[in-house]
Amino acid sequence: LRNRTATMDTLVALGTTVAWAYSASVVLFPESFPLPARHLYFEASAMIIGLINLGHALEQRARQHSSQALEKLLDLTPQEATVIRDEGDISLPVSQIEPGMRLRLRAGHRVPVDGIIDSGEGTIDESMLTGEAWPQQKTATDPVHAGTLVVDGTLSFRATATGKNTALARIISLVRNAQSSKPRIGQLADRISAIFVPAVIIIALLSGLIWYLAGPAPQFAYSMVVITSVLIIACPCALGLATPMSIIAGVGRAAEAGILVKDADALQQASNVDTIVFDKTGTLTTGRPAVTSVTLFNHSSEQQILTLAAAVEQHSSHPLATAILARVDASALPEVSHLQTVAGKGLSAECDGHRLLLGNQLLLSDAGVDIAAANESLQNTSRQGATPVLLAIDGQLAALLAVSDPLRPETPQVVARLQQQGYQVVMLTGDRKQTAEVVAASAGIRQVIAEVLPADKASAVKRLQQQGHRVAMVGDGINDAPALAQADTGIAISGGSDIAIETATMALMRQDLRAVTDALMISVATLRNMKQNLFGAFVYNCLGIPLAAGVLYPLTGT
């Protein structure tokens, strides 16, 4: 009353209080009430409050359970860092690292804080932050970011941002905003209650006044009975359960389909989207590079070429090496000697008396190898969005291996199905435009937004929303987290980065894009069930309130 507002809780408080007060009056002064009106409603008060609290508990449990299940995934940075001191390297907790400190990184380590490289060089996998499929070569003056992985090399850097100021920490902060929303359908119930509750109170008072002025004796007792009946029959326990029970049913059905729903509002939002935005690397594609073709330039067989290339790469952890090794039996590879890494270009080695060069065009050109015969193949490989890896044997060009990140097998089917259902499908990626367009064409996607930074992804989603679209974003990397948070519904792919999973309102627990269409269908069904429940609850109240007010008394005498 002080705030001039009325919600379901207002009616619950009034109804249960009046029911308890009436019951207590009947117990203490039974002779003051007509015999037919000597009913007790203690259990009704307890049951109504219990049901309302049950509804709130179920809703909170679904949200908190999802949060607890993902809370442990947030730790993407190491607990300790190697600090360079005059007396030597020492390990310190990351919490004690301050801007300006010099730190050392080695292969296999994750970057603890943001910084700028001041010496050394190495290859860093930033795919979870930038979406770039391949590790990036880093040298002096290049930035490094917390949470990224050093694939190869040793380097030192000077910390520029620590703790909550790192790029990773700023993205993590979006997680908290993704878990505090209330379902808009629940807000709808509150808006309806703002009108419904005052109306019920007025009806109860008017009914009591009519019974007091024109009802049978004892008028005051009957008036109190009518007021109590109206308030109890209108007590919105059904409204309190309508939304939470639908949410629990929807969350449970989604879980059976391998979809973790973290934000209740996502069920409603996903039912209204008209545009689906997909990340490329790791979402539409497998995220695992593979050798897609081998072009030969001498008399060697494809298997011989793959064996030699794998022999050179067998001690490397580079994704290109992983792709090549996946094509051969790693247990039967010949040993190589004089293995050398040429930064940013590739590898050189000797095997069975042959000099091998494996890498990009610069590596072979610097060694005086004629690669003119591969020009056409290089152009074709580039047009297909693949990465060319050249192999030279004893100074002669031997083969070109095309390595690319292939589409998931179900991607074209999922895209076609979504388009048939009327959704606009967009691909949003930080990768090169040429590569992105090749992948989009293979997937059947007509609209492509490429070469965008993480913040630009969120801006791109916002532009679509400003055009009137309701957007669902599907991604897997840290670079997708701002866009996942900006979208009306964020859907993270299983196996993606922890922050993407935590930021998204839905997470697909199975490695199958068909779960995206399942999530949309379940959301539509859940919203429909919410509306059915709310409609049923209001119909019940609309029928029950006149009966409780005594509208049938002139006809039936009861």
- 242-260 pLDDT per residue, tens: 777 777 778 778 877 878 8
- Which band of pLDDT confidence, cut at 50, 70 and 90, is reported for residue 181? very low
Contact 103, 84 (CB under 8 A): yes
Lowest mean pLDDT among 23-37, 63-77, 365-379: 63-77
State pTM to two decimals.
0.64
Residue 174's CB is within 10 A of a number of other CB atoms, namely 18
* CA separation, residue 176 to residues 136, 270, 508 (Å): 31, 20, 20
Residue length of the chain: 558
Lowest mean pLDDT among 301-310, 362-371, 506-515: 506-515
pLDDT of 128 over the 70 cut: no
Q: Give pLDDT, residue 263.
A: 64
Measure the CA–CA gap between 215 and 549, rounded to whole angstroms: 12
250-264 burial, b at 16+ Cβ within 10 Å, e below that, comes to bbebbeeebbbbbbb
Q: Rounded mean pLDDT of 505-511?
A: 80
Instruction: State the angle between helix axes of 8-28 and 42-71 in degrees (0 to 180), rounded to the nearest 10.
Output: 140
Measure the CA–CA gap between 285 and 547, rounded to whole angstroms: 62
Residue with tokens 């697909």: 508
pLDDT of 183 over the 60 cut: no
pLDDT of 173 over the 60 cut: no
Instruction: State the angle between helix axes of 237-256 and 514-548 in degrees (0 to 180), rounded to the nearest 10.
Output: 160
Per-residue model confidence as pLDDT tens digits over 402-455: 988 888 999 999 999 999 999 999 999 887 788 888 889 989 999 999 888 776
Instruction: Find, among 256, 260, 254, 245, the residue nearest to 65 by Cα.
Output: 260
Q: Annotated catalytic, 279?
A: yes
Q: Give pLDDT, residue 70.
A: 40
Measure the CA–CA gap between 540 and 555, rounded to whole angstroms: 22
Q: Give pLDDT, residue 225.
A: 80
Contact 369, 355 (CB under 8 A): no
231 compared with 294, residue with greater pLDDT = 294
Instruction: Find, among 114, 120, 161, the residue nearest to 138 by Cα.
Output: 120
| 169: helix, strand or coil | helix
Catalytic residue, candidates 114, 152, 263, 279: 279
Q: Give pLDDT, residue 175.
A: 43
Per-residue model confidence as pLDDT tens digits over 58-117: 666 655 554 543 444 355 678 899 999 988 899 999 989 999 999 999 888 889 999 999
Contact 304, 453 (CB under 8 A): no
Backbone angles phi, psi at 6, to 5 degrees: -140, 125
